[in-house]
Amino acid sequence: MYTLLTKDPSSQARAGVLHTRRGLIETPIFMPVGTQATVKAVSPDELYTLGASIILGNTYHLHVRPGEGLIKDLGGLHNFMQWNRSILTDSGGFQVFSLARLRKITEEGVHFQNHLDGTPTFISPEVSMQIQHDLGSDIVMAFDECPPYPCSHEAMSTSLERTLRWAKRSRAWWDAQPIGSSQERHPLLFGIVQGGSHDDLRKYSAEALVDIGFDGYAVGGVSVGEPEPEMMQAVDASTPYLPDNKPRYAMGLGTPPQMVEMVARGIDMFDCVLPTRLARNGTAFSEQGTLHLKNAPYARDTRPIEEGCTCPACQKFTRAYIRHLVKAEEILGLRLISLHNLHFYLNVMRRTRQSILDGRFHQFRKDFVSGYATREESFAASS
Amino acid sequence: MYTLLTKDPSSQARAGVLHTRRGLIETPIFMPVGTQATVKAVSPDELYTLGASIILGNTYHLHVRPGEGLIKDLGGLHNFMQWNRSILTDSGGFQVFSLARLRKITEEGVHFQNHLDGTPTFISPEVSMQIQHDLGSDIVMAFDECPPYPCSHEAMSTSLERTLRWAKRSRAWWDAQPIGSSQERHPLLFGIVQGGSHDDLRKYSAEALVDIGFDGYAVGGVSVGEPEPEMMQAVDASTPYLPDNKPRYAMGLGTPPQMVEMVARGIDMFDCVLPTRLARNGTAFSEQGTLHLKNAPYARDTRPIEEGCTCPACQKFTRAYIRHLVKAEEILGLRLISLHNLHFYLNVMRRTRQSILDGRFHQFRKDFVSGYATREESFAASS
């Protein structure tokens, strides 16, 4: 399912191809987040134009509204939202532990009230697999507990053992599904390495998951509020124990330089809400860092968001116009910045991949990470 | 500038072509409203796809933010928002009298504080013409006073006389502009018939404006809260005194059947915020009336908003999906409904025009107006 094409000699970076039942995904890859069956403010046709090959859907949100039963009856998530490339769904675990109310964790699963209307709900590994099955996901995540940061060794260890038992039950649920019952091929199933900031637990978690056997491995419990060095450390403590011939996915992060640094640590897949979330605040990504387009210096700036950028926003519109739209709270403003930011994230990964294939990732990483920090400083100095 | 092609024998309806310095506009025409240099939620490329040939910009809003000076310096409104077809700008009068605070009307003009930050501002006929000139508008409206509804004969008469003096000053401002100074040709200048619900004042206003001489005539002071029969009456009392060889524009209305009825009364041009405003509330237009897509019966409805509709939303997406987006407050939902509603409005006018050219407007009008009322009733009965 995953073909490793090239390994970078200076780091753990790799370029590969991931095969889902829906198509090919060139890795490293960025996956736009489509929480509620839409990538915020962007249409499927626009995502095709941007070259997105896989998006993420959120099991928890879709279960709460409109419900996987409705989506299944209407032909699955792909058909519902008119997206014909791959979809990865998370397990719902992260949202159950960050959004839901009145949580009660048992060995069987988690009882909670949803964040929308308080409806009592129960999600277990089996329920999560059933939801992701009904959605028609191409990459399914095992159901995990995601403890808050920070978490003691003892509490993390207890949680981790349960997450491993849940991972086995997630695996078993799919193994019990007759192949070809509702789809031609099963989706890929990924396990999630937990363990927080405890290196020994990360190693233990990774090895135990590999023993169970998954189509890919995610590093979870990152980007949960920990300092960046701990985030990097969590990955460093996990990837050495993951097999080369399976894709690795760092969940829910990060900034562009963080993604490049994660690639250097052997990560292949990313998802992050920053491109669309920051767009709604008028913040655009660029090679030199972020631009806060609400700021006064852009009022008469006739340059595109980023000179040389090939995204649909930069092909037509000036910073001055987009700033006006953002200030006037016009939807077209956040649409244009969302397009630009998604293009930027997708393109950073395309360039990262090409640099690995070309044997120049070491230089690319150095230039990209050092170049990215420059704008904030110069902007702060000038405004 | 206006070529009358066909007159309907059964009514005052006409089909024609309006020539602006930017291009040809086939009338009757609907003009999407781009208040703040964007038609809400929609991109210029999408407007081209929908076949819009002219949009409206709001002088008051653009003066307040970002200011006509900035827009002029950046190459005019067309360049600023990347719209290369015609733009009509209103005079700012309506907004000064509906949005601004602490108004004081003098013979010279209107002093007020803007609705955004209370900045003291002054707009006179000359200021309004200068703003519209700086924006680079292709059809400019004379500066008028728009009294609230209802308005006594005496008060309306006083206001009307001032509006006529302002209309002369608007005309004089353009006559004093050297041709070719900043644009190759002057924009078209339209006068605005006022007079409220008083037939004699409408007649007086229309005749006085025709004496001054304009490139087109608008009926103003409609859609300001009056009952529909009074709205129709205001047009009926105005159009007989307007010349056949000039376009007529009914400002700020209306529902689809109202537009068709206005065409029957000799109106050629319309602008209305309903298509985009109702979209933000989840309401879609159709041949049988409006659909409130938030309603439960649409939850599993796999039909497009309107069967047979050729708009980009109906070509791909189901009512069920759009309902989900609206319920989840996702921007794509209002984008899709905005596209559909704008298409619907533009298309009603295209069909109206074709029926006039084909000599079957009488039947079209009857079928359209009677057909439009049906859904609300059937929906109310079923929900």
Q: Quote the pTM value.
A: 0.96
State residue A249's pLDDT score. Answer: 98
Give pLDDT tens digits for A19-44.
999 999 999 999 999 999 999 999 99
State residue B178's pLDDT score. Answer: 86
B208 shares a domain with B300:
no
- Do B92 and B166 contact (CB within 8 A), yes or no? no
For chain A positions 149-178, those within 8 Å of chain B (CB to CB) are: none
Token look-up 């608007």 returns B170
- Would you place residue A376 in the very low, low, confident or very high pLDDT band (cuts 50, 70, 90)? low
Structure tokens at B102: 């602490």
User: Shortest CA distance to B220 belongs to which of B149, B320, B172?
Assistant: B149
The reply to whether residue A330 touches residue B73, judged by beta carbons under 8 angstroms, is no
B111 shares a domain with B196:
yes
The reply to whether residue A36 touches residue B324, judged by beta carbons under 8 angstroms, is yes
Among B250, B271, B292, residue at a domain's last position: B271
- Would you place residue A375 in the very low, low, confident or very high pLDDT band (cuts 50, 70, 90)? low
Domain harbouring B75, CATH code: 3.20.20.105
Give pLDDT tens digits for A248-307.
999 999 999 999 999 999 999 999 999 999 999 999 999 999 999 999 999 999 999 999
Give pLDDT tens digits for A223-255.
999 999 999 999 999 999 999 999 999 999 999
A174 shares a domain with A87:
yes
DSSP B236: H
Give pLDDT tens digits for B278-298.
999 999 999 999 999 999 999
A111 shares a domain with A13:
yes
State residue B377's pLDDT score. Answer: 40
- Would you place residue A96 in the very low, low, confident or very high pLDDT band (cuts 50, 70, 90)? confident
Domain of A316, in residue numbers: 279-382
B112 shares a domain with B191:
yes
**What beta strand segments (E) does chain B contain?**
2-7, 14-20, 23-27, 29-31, 54-57, 86-89, 101-105, 110-113, 120-123, 139-141, 188-193, 216-219, 248-250, 269-271, 283-286, 289-292
Of A37, A40, A317, the CB nearest to B82: A317
CA of B106 vs chain A CAs: smallest distance (Å): 30
Among A220, A251, A272, residue at a domain's last position: A272
Percent helix, strand and coil across chain B, each rounded to 5?
A: 45, 20, 35
Query: Which chain B residues are within 8 Å of A316, Cβ to Cβ?
Result: 44, 82
Q: What is the C-alpha separation between A209 and B344, in angstroms, rounded?
A: 55
State residue B179's pLDDT score. Answer: 76
Q: What is the C-alpha separation between A12 and A266, in angstroms, rounded?
A: 5
Q: What residue type is assigned to position B297 of the chain? A: P
The 3-state DSSP class for residue B249 equals strand
A161 shares a domain with A139:
yes
Query: Which chain A residues are within 8 Å of B73, Cβ to Cβ?
Result: 300
Among A245, A272, A299, residue at a domain's last position: A272
Q: Cβ contacts of residue B367 below 8 Å, gap of 6+? A: none
State residue A383's pLDDT score. Answer: 33
Give pLDDT tens digits for A329-353.
999 999 999 999 999 999 999 999 9
- Do A362 and A11 contact (CB within 8 A), yes or no? yes
Of A66, A324, A331, the CB nearest to B40: A331
B341 shares a domain with B311:
yes
Structure tokens at B347: 């298309």
Residue B367 known to be catalytic? no
Catalytic residue among B134, B144, B268, B271: B271
Token look-up 């690995």 returns A356
Using the Cα atoms of residue B70, residue B76, residue B82 and residue B85 in order, give the sign of their dihedral: positive
- Do A16 and A27 contact (CB within 8 A), yes or no? yes
Q: What residue type is assigned to position B180 of the chain? A: G
Q: What is the C-alpha separation between A140 and B342, in angstroms, rounded?
A: 39
A319 shares a domain with A253:
no
The reply to whether residue A335 touches residue B331, judged by beta carbons under 8 angstroms, is yes
- Do B29 and B349 contact (CB within 8 A), yes or no? yes
B287 shares a domain with B261:
no
Q: What is the C-alpha separation between B162 and B159, in angstroms, rounded?
A: 5
Task: Assess A325–B contact: CB distance below 8 Å, yes or no.
Answer: yes
Low-confidence ranges of chain B (pLDDT < 70): 180-184, 374-383
Q: Tell me, what's the ipTM?
A: 0.96
Structure tokens at A88: 């990865």
The reply to whether residue A325 touches residue B37, judged by beta carbons under 8 angstroms, is yes
Residue A367 known to be catalytic? no
Give pLDDT tens digits for A158-205.
999 999 999 999 999 999 998 765 556 899 999 999 999 999 999 999
B238 shares a domain with B339:
no
Number of domains composing chain B: 2
Q: What is the C-alpha separation between B23 and B163, in angstroms, rounded?
A: 30
B217 shares a domain with B193:
yes
The reply to whether residue B321 touches residue A70, judged by beta carbons under 8 angstroms, is no
A26 shares a domain with A165:
yes
Peptide bond into A220 cis (omega under 30): no
